[in-house]
Amino acid sequence: MRGPVTHPRTALGRRGTRTAAGALASAALLLPLLGAAPPAGAADDTGRLQRAFTDAAAAYHVPLSVLLGVSYLQSRWDGHGGAPSVTGGYGPMHLTDARTALARAPHRDEGQDDPRGDGARPLRRPAAAAPAESALPDRLKTLPKAAGLTGIPAERLRDDPAANVAGGAALLAASQKKLGEPLSGDPAAWYGAVAAFSGADDTATAAAYANDVYGAIRSGERRTTDAGQRVVLTARPRLAPAVGQMARTGLRKDSADGTECPSSVSCEWIPAPYEQFGTDDYGNHDLGDRPASQGIRYIVIHDTEGAWEGVINLIQDPTYVSWNYTVRSTDGHIAQHVKAKDVAWHAGNWYVNAKSIGLEHEGFLAEPDAWYTEAMYRSSARLVRYLADKYGIPLDRQHILGHDTVPGPTPSTIPGMHTDPGPYWDWRHYFELLGRPFRATAGRDGGLVTIRPDYASNRPQYTGCTASGQPCDPHGSSEVRLYSQPDTSSALIKDIGLRPSGDASTTDVNDVASRAETGQQYAVAGRQGDWTAIWYLGQKAWFQNPARKPTAVNAIGLVVTPKAGADSVPVYGRAYPEKEAYPADVPVQAVTPQPYKLLAGQRYAIGDMVRGEYFYSVTFTTDSHRVVKGKDLYYEIQFGHRVEFVRAADVTVRPSDR
């Protein structure tokens, strides 16, 4: 997230109305379909949504497997209680109505950091806001079109899952007719219509989307939705779609020339400008020579806090900041802006920036409900797998960081660090897509736990999504809350870096002081009944972890503890070299301890061992750029919600089960 800039969504306008052509005929067709559905309160009817798919497929002559496959890639069949996605998509079919969904007051995370994160160069802010959007693209207004095709009121399409499924079926049928194709019962004959349903305006993106849908049909899927509905897509492993239909969609051909993306995603090059302006100012990234000059060890996951068109305008402003890639919500399309060899300004910590690649995802931390599409998750995961393989980045939560887990580089920066993608990003599902699901690796005596609540049913109460102190809508979450005692009435864990005054932590959606997140590993500090304690920010922190519904799994690994005789050791927000390593023409960078301490008797999980390193780059011309490498070694550790660093010379490494 970018901080206090004009929100790209503010020009979306007020809610409008549409007149539906052919509404009466379509409505007559749908009356038996919708009337047959049991009332919404029939909690014991767990097959209601499956029947809605079956009925809509029959009513609109769309193959059931196609309808189920498209919906799976949109929402994994979840309804999200009628709440919109990050791009204003509603229901299992993700029918978009952006003017209605996104016309609310903007909300962003509270970070005020310098995205570059380097005191050697002063903070710069954008000179201008993003240009206003004049019109919404068709991909963000499919729900009004579905209302016109079916005669079902827009409000019902947003709130009623059965109506939403019918609207999606109508859109698919309309696309099939537009292509001049018959309403065939053969799912292989619907490739073009599925590609068009993506909303993409180029063949590469539409094909990537359609291929994912047909991949789901071939493999089959089954799951219980967020509303407790059991849905099954029967596998058809030998299904071969008619990919030649793509030529008749009329979509433009797009080129991936210049991009660093896997062939399994759609990617385009929209460069961030490297330009000089004024006397000593330049933007919006630094030229480098990675991985030859310095390794790439991290990938940082962000959300944009803005809609695609506005964000793409911003990245092309040299006075703004930068990141390497943006992923679009509706169809998973990717734009690359900064080459991997160069250093983008995105994480708020220069050490992390210099050794990372930043991925922005179209969306919002909380709106108050802001779910991400399956198309986005899948496309992002493919890109991360590709980058991790190319640069040797381990696929774990110590290397695949959220922006909210990047440490403040110095004590004064901690309160201003960003909090995206926030508690509603589904890390458990994301790592399943990465092929690295979080599993137990030890028994009860392994000494570590990996946080892993069930996302859908894990719903801690947050506040501040729409107004300070106001409860957020219930929502699945990747995080567990941490208490000072094994009792929900006890005080939340405090973070003296975030609140140096010692003020209490809160349940605000942006307050990361007392939260542990899926995939993060911590050393066990105790157990009591349904509670587990971990070492966290120098304290014993308790979270609910009942055996019947666990929120963590046992693990084993390496931990650090202070060397014998030391009461405590300092913790750092960056791994910079010792002063003796700096050449005469590079200013020595202070290795400033954080306000935290790693105390004797406490243990913290190791994420990596790194050598002290600093990338000196404060001028537009590259002749003065230097990569300073020291002899001091550091361990990256999971210290609180964010990672931190300790000097290897200060600690002892041991197995977690000893």
Q: What's the pLDDT tens digit per position in 157-170? A: 999 999 999 999 99
Q: With respect to residue 579, please indicate whether it lies within any of the assigned structural domains.
A: yes
pLDDT score of 397: 98
Query: Which pLDDT score is estimated for 272?
Result: 96
In a domain, 107, yes or no: yes
Q: What is the number of domains present in the chain?
A: 2
Confidence of residue 295 (pLDDT cuts 50, 70, 90): very high
Confidence of residue 16 (pLDDT cuts 50, 70, 90): very low
Asked whether residue 171 carries a pLDDT value surpassing 90, the answer given is: yes
Contacts of 129 by beta carbon, 8 Å cutoff, 6+ apart: 5, 6
In a domain, 281, yes or no: no
Q: Which residue has the higher pLDDT, 125 or 195?
A: 195
Band of the pLDDT at 301, cuts 50, 70, 90?
very high
> Does residue 203 belong to any structural domain of this protein?
yes
What does the pLDDT read at residue 570? 98
**Structural domain contains residue 599:** yes
Its domain, for residue 567, covers 561-655
Mean pLDDT, residues 313-323? 91
Residue 522 in contact with residue 536, Cβ under 8 Å?
A: yes
Query: Where does the pLDDT of residue 279 fall: very low under 50, low under 70, confident under 90, or very high at 90 and above?
Result: confident
Amino acid 130: pLDDT: 38
Average pLDDT over residues 230-248: 97
Strands 552-555 and 448-451, bridge-based pairing: antiparallel
Tokens representing residue 214 in the block: 């047909």
Question: Burial level of 603, CB count in 10 A (0-12/13-18/19+)?
Answer: buried
Q: Where does a domain end: 229, 248, 267? A: 248
HEC assignment per residue over 80-144: HHHCCECCCEECCCCEECHHHHCCCCCCCCCCCCCCCCCCCCCCCCCCCCCCCCCCCCHHHCHHH
Question: Is the four-CA dihedral 42, 43, 47, 49 of positive or negative sign?
Answer: positive
pLDDT at residue 135 above 80? no
254 backbone dihedrals φ, ψ, rounded to 5° = -110, 150
- The stretch 135-140 carries a mean pLDDT of 85
25 or 496: which carries more pLDDT confidence?
496
Omega prior to 291 cis, within 30 of 0: yes
DSSP structure string for 384-416: HHHHHHHHT--SSTTTEEEGGGSPPSSGGGGGG
| 13, pLDDT greater than 50 | no
Q: What is the pLDDT of residue 532?
A: 98
Per-residue model confidence (pLDDT) at position 642: 98
pLDDT score for 110: 55
Q: What is the pLDDT of residue 124?
A: 57
- For 414, the token pair is 């901690």
Q: Which of 248, 277, 310 is the last residue of a domain?
A: 248
Residue 104: predicted pLDDT: 52
CA 87 to chain centre: 14
Is 475's pLDDT higher than 90?
Answer: no
- The pLDDT value given to residue 641: 98
Cβ proximity of 70 and 93 under 8 Å: yes
pLDDT band at 371 (very low <50, low <70, confident <90, very high): confident
DSSP 8-state secondary structure symbol assigned to residue 306: B
> How many angstroms separate the CA atoms of 212 and 210, rounded?
5
Residue 456 lies in a domain: no
Q: Which pLDDT belongs to residue 367?
A: 64
Grade residue 136 by pLDDT with cuts at 50, 70 and 90. confident
Report percent pLDDT > 90 for the chain.
79
Q: Which residue has the higher pLDDT, 6 or 117?
A: 117
Do 520 and 400 touch, CB atoms closer than 8 A? no
Q: What does the pLDDT average to over 552-559?
A: 98
Residue-wise pLDDT tens digits, 77-121: 999 989 888 888 999 999 999 888 766 534 445 566 678 888 777
Task: Give a yes or no: residue 639 inside a domain.
Answer: yes
| Average pLDDT score over residue span 248-258 | 88
Q: What is the per-residue pLDDT for 649? A: 98
Residue with tokens 């969306």: 363
Residue 306 has pLDDT above 90, yes or no: no
Q: In this predicted structure, what is the pLDDT of residue 86?
A: 83
Instruction: Tokens 């979306």: give the residue.
Output: 12
Name the nearest CA neighbour of 166 among 52, 69, 41.
52
pLDDT band (50, 70, 90) for residue 1 = very low
Q: Calculate mean pLDDT across residues 53-70.
A: 98
Q: What is the pLDDT of residue 191?
A: 98
pLDDT at 566: 97
Domain boundary among 227, 248, 269: 248
The pLDDT tens digits for 172-209 are 999 999 999 999 999 999 999 999 999 999 999 999 99
At residue 145, does pLDDT exceed 60?
A: yes
